[in-house]
Structure 1
Amino acid sequence: MAGCVLVSHQPSGPKGYVMRKGKEAVLKLLRNGEPVPYRQLLKMLGVARGQERNRLDEMLDTLLEAGEIVKLPGRIYALPGAAGALRGKLSMHRDGYGFVMAEDGSGDLYVPARYLRDYMNGDLVEAQVVSVRRDGKREGRVTSLVQRGVTSIVGRFESVGRGGRVIPDDDRLGHDLFVPPNALGGARDGQVVQAQITSYPSQVRGLEGRITEVLGDANDPEVEVLTVIKKFDLPHVFSPAVLAEACKEPQEVPPEAAAGRVDLRERVTVTIDGETARDFDDAVSVAREGEKIRLWVSIADVSHYVPEGSALDLEAYLRGTSVYFPDRCIPMLPEELSNGICSLNPQVDRLTMTAEMLFDAAGEMVESRFYPSVIKSHARLTYTIVKRIVVDAEAEAIAQHRELVPHLKVMEELALRLNKKRSLRGSIDFDLPEPQIVLDLQGETTAIVKAERNFAHRIIEEFMLAANEAVASHLEGIPVPALYRVHENPDPVKLKDLAEFVFSFGYQLKVEEDKVSPLELQKLLAEVEGKPEERLINEVLLRCMKQARYSAENLGHFGLAASSYTHFTSPIRRYPDLVVHRILRRVLAGKLSGKERGALEARLPETALHTSRRERIAMEAEREMVDLKKMQFMRDKIGEEYEGFITGVAPFGIFVELVELFVEGMVPVATLPSDYYVHLEKSHSLVGERSRVSYRIADKVKVKVAAINEARRQVEFALVASLESRPLQRPAGGESYPRIPVKGKRPKPRRR
């Protein structure tokens, strides 16, 4: 249709002339840069009703398909660029469609599968918005490839004739990799391998490559870890140059290194961490001053040991963060630093950067200062020990740490003040249970239990939040270019849906000018506490929140209700914290020249983008490793029944998390009682058209372990019973249940 010519009923007038030009006429009308409504197009082109309008509609659809024009809400047409071009990472779904996650934070762009045949999950692409729905959701197409996101794949090898193929571990890639006979690398059937891509998919050929490494047997725990490392391309081996620089550092602080620093070695300072922690970033100390309490948060001075531009620094930047698996850590820095001279071990001198803050009785910070320091931690405490002393008042624990008890009681008081202050301003706390994987000596999962979280965790959390906020406010007040930890307001469309959703339960959520106050969300959480719908509304609210990220621009932190926030307290394991330390040290030393300010302003946006990416990759790898351990744990549980609750719904099934085991699996829609199931997105439910049976997030169910899908690393359940007795709520946001057809055949049950 691109070359079709429309015939006008007004051939003698100017409009008739435009109509005869067809496609060129439409494009010419849009080249002035102004979007044109459909009715105005009809008028300008002199199109009458009937066949002419049908031909114009076909032409517009063809131009849309080709990406030559875009459609905006209200059936308004424009040239590409009017709706916005964007750049971002392509995230593919296993069913073929995908989303471009915009680098500018403007949201995701949906791309249909037909536009993605030449692209792969992880590619950095440029895309064009083709249409925008009334609810703000955008659809588009990829216009160009910026950079391939995947250069090698990890998967299971299968022999095919004289050659073979690699079935990717990541089903989002959407392609098997074919290996010619001369590139097998000695791989055998069933082994896990890594293959280098030599040819990317196109319309005329598939994905091809050569095997570069045989990782081993798929059921070997070490191979499983290595598979995740390779899949996410996690740097896990330090180069000789990096290790040489790390080994040059002495494991004791020489006297000259402490010169010129504030000496805090006589202060009672402690570290409080988990039982298995080996790298101690932070140490704390307190002192009562009348009604006020002074807090010292001393953080390992990693910037002293990692010079900017050194091999250590470049490797730390590449990694961006430490990655934590159930049985090991892939550190950002070599152990000589992370567990050695940088770690604030007890009874040894350590170089630190200290945030000293004074808080009044209301938890308001009335004074702060920052400086390089030297400390000597008096004790390495664990969260369990502190709980036994502060919360349980256990006599034996108190007797063992008698000299520290008064300090811990002051810490408890200050933490309560700080928490109350944060709560009053609207800080949102999602205290959701997290699983802890228990492994045996062979690396096999023996149990999955709820990770303990007690008030001792809250003490350290409050102190770290206070220090991070104080440093951010100080740098912003100077002002100086800095790296902030930002958390933007929830998406306006999701907010509107949330308000409509909670209204169906009788709750009000005030949304003004597409924004909501954190205090309003906190109020909502308080209202639903202890109610049957508490978990449901908590889950839906959590899905509305955007992901926190790093930014060179201070956009505030919505979740903490903080106008200024950064990451300062974990430089051993997070590169952004190291950047903030360097900036703070230069400011304190008065060595930040105008030229350095300019260099920082130019460099920080890329640093923020890179470290945000590395954080997301680390989170995905950690989640995959935990899911793998859970799947292994469930292999011998097939046929057993458990109670659980629905954590997600999709057109192809419902996701259920077991209450007892913290394991999530899927109930395929094909295994549900025979019906035609409709996915109501706004209501977060799957509804049977005939039976009106509803499966919704947070509903309690009983399921049976049906199978373990090794390829997708997924546990599959079969529904035994629904344990909900509540009446079915009407769908939110104007959604309605589809009517049952009166005539014709009923649609077949959806099977995916």
Structure 2
Amino acid sequence: MLFKMKLWYTEHMSKIIMDKKKKEKQKSGVPFIKRRSSSHKKEETVQGILLKNKKGFGFVTPEPSEESPESEKEKQDIFIAGKNLNGAMNGDLVSVVLSAKEKDNRSREGVIDKIISHGVKEIVGTFEKNKRFGFVVPDDKHFTNEDVFVKKSDWKNAETGDKVVVQITKYPEEGNNAEGKITEIISRFGETGGDIKALIRQYNLFQTFPSRVNAEAKAVSKVKQQGEEGFEAIREEERKGRTDLRQKKIITIDGADAKDLDDAISIEKLSNGNYLLGVHIADVSHYVAEDGPMDKEALKRGTSVYLVDQVIPMLPKALSNGICSLNEGVDRLTLSISMEIDSTGEVVRHDIFKSIIHSAHRMVYDDVSDMLEKNAVDLISKYDDIYKDILSMKELADILHKRRDLRGSLDFDFDEAYITLDDAGIPVTVETAERRIANQIIEEFMLIANETIAEHFYWMEVPFVYRVHEKPAPDRMDEFKNFVRGFGIAIKGNTENIHPKILSDILKEVKGQSYENVVNTVMLRSMKKAFYDVSCDGHFGLGVKYYCHFTSPIRRYPDLIIHRIIKEIIDGGVSEKRNKQLRKKADMASDLSSKAERHAQELEREVEKLKKTEYMSYHIGECFEGVISGITTYGFYVELPNTIEGLVRIESLKDDYYDYEQAKYRFIGQRTNKIFTLGDKVKIQVLRANVEDREIDFAMAEEK
């Protein structure tokens, strides 16, 4: 490392004194432009955003043209070889000169002609220092070989191994690395949780809130928990226009570690045999003033993010864990929907209203599940006042699930990882999280509430935020059709307008098979991603025309804004001027929340991969059984029962030379005819676990 630093420093300093005229011409803040010879002037150029690969090459995603619709060819990313990047960094807006020759007659290649603007102003990385200089090695592998030079005067007391934020003060040009100054020390070398903190900062997310947001949160959360010193009841003016449900048996059911309890439920059996289901959601919009500091910050964040042992909340804890959380034994303001549901699962009538509740019990999934699955006598005795209600909840949930099943709602049953860290932040176990009866009860109740709310306000023709899931693209369905054919599964009908019931039946057919998870995964990847929109265009995966997110306003902004809209309608409707204003706000919330959701999911996956790789780094040489979950040209992936996935590289198979048969998703030995295909059970040995790159390598275990 020291040799690398000295060599880098020598080369860097020698280049600094070169070409002073070029530096004089380059004004502060203006990106460096790589001039090309006049022979390229007549060649086709395209503008787009550069995404670099850790192996040194990159792809430019073309910007959409406003002049005319693009052809499929023009939409394709442009491959940029490492030698043709010409100093561009990941995220830069660049101009690309297209090569006349196309690769495989399909993809396009090019050379970066100039950097129009830089997309990155700061980088998160690990600091390395010498006596007179230092540099930051980026954590994001899209910035591979782009260490940022830092003068000693700009270290800000950082030490080697610290996770830091470096602000770019000078961008790379003609071989010179970028220069910068350290603006923030995220965590010290070896600090517990420092790796996750660095990832959070890399994604430009923050666990803390601006002072003005905290000040507003403190001001509105004056009602303290009952029994605490200074307890204040809900004020008389806050009760006006609300239905008092405090005498009803209302409970919450959540995970044992949950602190932001935003949904509660109640149930009654009516004399006609129907069920009266109440879903009561925290009235977060009562405390979050429209366009105030908290509202603007919540819109910016879009969602809460859950990362193994850490949470990045959408709202300050004073609200999310305090005044808005439907804690046991305290009065809370809520927005309720009451639904009468018959024996077929049909909602025959419903009512939406503002309310006050008093949660009788803070239940956890495992306790409720033990009561229903194991007839746990001690728990049944402890909660004898609500046990009959819990039995009724189970009955209704079964009815609602059957109704969804009949219409073809897709019920993916993926194993989710549950990672346990010790006090030093080291993963000690990676297990699959259980999805038990109580989890399914809450899921069914939230689904029916969301569906009913969406349909109600769709017919009122008011501004709203819907959850949309479009039908799959025909080409992706054709690929999936060919894939499942290998398992003896036939998809009948036209893939251009496939019904979710056909896919739902496939999920049932593979249930319990060794390749169940593989088929589930490939099917999911064949789908389009759900998003938020002001247009109600249906939810393919659920098989419904109307759907929204209403039940989690503490952790999702779309829920918060539609609560605001619902309450305005309940309180007397909106003017034409207000209608236009709400439509604009709903449109903005839809767009920003969809982007925030994707951003959060990427971070959650990265943190999970990080901790899974770290866990396997402590199990090098050990053997496990797994299932082949993916096939590529360079090998096949094996997923273990605890959801950890690793790669068996084809060159590691020494018993034969294996041919890759893409259409059949398999490798086959030339001499032995031995086959490795999706869904096969195999025994592997852990070879490597590269925590820095989040890559795990397996090898086939030797047969004894």
Asked whether 1:624 is paired with 2:606, we answer: yes
- Structure 2's unaligned 5+ residue stretches are 1-38, 224-232
State the partner residue of 1:154. 124
Q: 1:201 to 1:694 in 2, by over 3 A?
A: farther
Change (3 A) 1:139 1:607: farther
Q: Does 1:714 align with 2:695?
A: yes
**Residue 373 (structure 1) aligns with:** 355
- d(CA) in 2 for partners of 1:117, 1:614: 32
Q: Post-superposition shift, 1:164?
A: 3.3
**Partner of residue 575, structure 1:** 557
Greater relative contact order (Cα < 8 A, sep 6+) = 2
Deviates more, 1:467-476 or 1:667-676: 667-676
Runs (5+) with no aligned partner, structure 1? 1-61, 69-79, 724-752
Map 1:277-426 to 2 at 5 A: 277-289=258-270, 290-426=272-408
- For each residue in 1:386-413, what CA deviation from the matched residue of structure 2 results, as whole angstroms up to 9, or x when unmatched? 1122222222111111110111111111
* Counterpart contact for 1:109–1:140, Cα < 8 Å: no
Alignment of 1:566-715 (within 5 A): 566-659=548-641, 661-673=642-654, 680-686=661-667, 693-715=674-696
Amino acid at match of 2:255: G
RMSD of aligned alpha carbons: 3.4
Q: Which residue is 2:136 aligned to? A: 166
Offset of residue 448 of structure 1: 1.6
Report whether the alignment pairs 1:94 with 2:54.
yes
In the TM superposition, what is the alpha-carbon distance from 1:218 to its structure 2 partner? 4.5
Mapped contact 1:128–1:143 kept (Cα < 8 A): yes
Aligned mate of 1:211, from 177, 182, 192: 182
Q: Which stretch of structure 1 is more off in the superposition, 206-215 or 316-325?
A: 206-215
Q: More deviation in 305-314 or 677-686?
A: 677-686
Contact 2:126 2:161 in 1 (8 A): yes
Corresponding residue number in structure 2 for 1:489: 471
1:51 matched residue in structure 2: none
Say yes or no: does 1:241 pair with 2:212. yes
Please report how far the alpha carbon of residue 678 of structure 1 lies from its aligned counterpart in structure 2 after TM superposition: 5.8
- Deviation of the 1:193 alpha carbon: 2.3
5 Å matches for 1:453-602? 453-512=435-494, 514-602=496-584
8 Å Cα contact 1:363/1:418 also seen in 2: yes
| C-alpha distance in 2 between matches for 1:203 and 1:194 | 24
**Cα distance change of structure 1 residues 647 and 146 upon mapping to structure 2, 3 Å threshold:** farther
- Shift of residue 130, structure 1, vs aligned partner: 11
Q: CA deviation at 1:476?
A: 0.9
For 1:485, what is the secondary structure of its paired residue?
A: strand
The Cα of 1:368 is off from its aligned counterpart by: 1.6
Contact map agreement 2:614 2:691 (CA 8 A) in 1:
no
Residues 218, 224 of structure 1: 8 Å contact kept:
no
Q: Distance in 1 between matches of 2:126 and 2:672?
A: 43
Choose the corresponding residue for 2:151, options 181, 186, 192.
181
Q: TM-score, normalised by structure 1?
A: 0.78
Q: 1:606 to 1:507 in 2, by over 3 A?
A: same
Aligned residue pairs, count:
641
**Distance (whole Å) between structure 2 residues aligned to residue 557 and residue 529 of structure 1:** 23
TM-fit CA distance, 1:470: 0.9
Q: CA deviation at 1:664?
A: 2.3
> Are positions 1:220 and 2:186 aligned together?
no
Aligned sequence identity (%)? 37
Q: C-alpha separation between the residues in 2 aligned to 1:527 and 1:129?
A: 48
- Aligned residue type for 2:142: R
Whether contact under 8 Å (2:193, 2:424) holds in the other structure is: no
CA distance in structure 2 between the partners assigned to 1:375 and 1:126 by the alignment: 59
Deviation of the 1:457 alpha carbon: 0.4
Query: Which residue of structure 1 aligns with residue 203 of structure 2?
Result: 232
Query: Which shifted more, 113-122 or 163-172?
Result: 113-122
Moved more, 435-444 or 575-584: 435-444
Offset, 1:521: 0.3
- Is the CA contact 1:675–1:688 (under 8 Å) kept in the aligned structure 2? yes
Query: Contact (CA 8 Å) 1:90, 1:120: kept in 2 or not?
Result: yes
Q: Relative to structure 1, is the Cα distance of residues 689 and 100 closer, same or farther in structure 2, using a 3 angstrom cutoff? A: farther
What is the one-letter code of the residue matched to 1:113?
I
Shift of 1:647: 2.6
Alignment match of 2:44 (pick from 67, 70, 77)? 67
Whether the 8 Å CA contact 1:495–1:511 is kept in 2: the answer is: no
CA deviation after TM superposition for structure 1 residue 518, in Å: 0.3
What SS does the aligned partner of 1:286 have? strand
Helix, strand or coil for the counterpart of 1:442?
A: coil
Change (3 A) 1:721 1:610: farther
After superposition, the C-alpha distances for 1:199-255 in whole angstroms (9 at most, x for unaligned) are 345556443322223344444323112211111111221122111111112225223
Give yes or no for contact 1:358–1:365 (8 Å, CA) kept in 2: yes
Deviation at 1:583, TM superposition (A): 1.4
Deviations 1:454-493 (A, max 9, x none): 1110100000001111111111111112111111112221
Task: Name the CA distance, whole Å, in 2 between partners of 1:616 and 1:439.
Answer: 25
Aligned partners of 1:126 and 1:515: how far apart in 2?
Answer: 39
Q: Which piece of structure 1 moves more, 424-433 or 587-596?
A: 587-596
1:112 and 2:82 aligned: no
Cα shift at 1:337: 0.6
2:60–2:80: 8 Å Cα contact kept in structure 1? no
**Compared CA separation, residues 440 and 535, structure 1 to 2 (3 A):** closer
Partners of 1:156 and 1:168 within 8 A in 2: yes
Per-residue deviation, 1:593: 1.6
Residue pair 1:193, 1:211 contacting (<8 A) in 2 also:
yes
The residue type equivalent to 1:223 in the other structure is G
Task: Note if contact 2:689-2:696 (Cα within 8 Å) is conserved in structure 1.
Answer: yes
Q: Which amino acid counterpart does residue 632 of structure 2 have in structure 1?
A: A
The one-character-per-residue Cα deviations of 1:527-582 (angstroms, maximum 9, x if unpaired) are 23334543332232122122211122222111111111111100001111101111
Question: Aligned residue for 1:255?
Answer: 236
The alpha-carbon distance between structure 1 residues 535 and 330, as it changes in their structure 2 partners (threshold 3 A), is closer
Contact 2:252–2:359, Cα closer than 8 Å, also in 1: yes
**1:529–1:658 distance in 2 versus 1, CA, 3 Å:** closer
Q: Identify if the C-alpha distance between structure 1 residues 597 and 125 changes in structure 2 by more than 3 Å, giving closer, same or farther.
A: farther
Out of 541-550 and 337-346, give the one that drifted further: 541-550
Q: Which residue identity does 2:58 align to in structure 1?
A: Y
The TM-score normalised by the length of structure 2 is 0.83
User: 1:129-140 alignment to 2 at 5 Å?
Assistant: none
Q: What letter matches 2:134 in structure 1?
A: G
Do 1:468 and 1:568's aligned partners in 2 also have CA atoms closer than 8 Å?
A: yes
User: Matches of 2:400 and 2:324 in 1, distance apart?
Assistant: 28
Distance in 1, matches of 2:422 and 2:672, equals 47
User: Post-superposition shift, 1:508?
Assistant: 1.7
* Distance change >3 Å, CA 143–CA 350, structure 1 → 2: farther
Q: CA deviation at 1:523?
A: 1.3
Q: Structure 1's 314 and 198: CA in aligned 2 closer, same or farther, altered over 3 A?
A: same
Match of residue 195 from structure 1:
166
